[in-house]
Amino acid sequence: MRQIKAILREELGHSKRMLQKYEKALKKLPKGSLVVKNINGKDYCYLAYRGGNKVHFKYLGKIPDEDIQEYQEAKEKKKQYRGFIKDLKEQVAFLQRALNEKAAPAN
């Protein structure tokens, strides 16, 4: 029984480290997402981000296609990281219940 608990504790520690890693990586990505609005037949690029309960749009001007591609890749990474974070939080909670440990306060 001790061996099983030792393995579960090891996995819990690993899951917590991975959770911190993904949360840190998520913070490094650009805030918001790129929105292209077509106004009077012309395309305008904006950065859409949430500030409190409002969605704000910051005008970016004419940006190169490479930058547009970078924003799209960042958007996909954010989606992927959020999925990983969700799964890891569930895994940490499960392991803590299995080990009868109390959850640490959320940051």
The whole model's pTM is what? 0.75
Mean pLDDT, range 11-29, rounded to an integer: 95
DSSP calls for the chain: -HHHHHHHHHHHHHHHHHHHHHHHHHHHSPSSEEEEEEETTEEEEEEEEEETTEEEEEEEES--HHHHHHHHHHHHHHHHHHHHHHHHHHHHHHHHHHTTPPPPPP-
Residue 106 has pLDDT above 60, yes or no: no
Which pLDDT score is estimated for 104?
61
Which pLDDT score is estimated for 55?
93
Which pLDDT score is estimated for 38?
87
Residue 102 has pLDDT above 80, yes or no: no
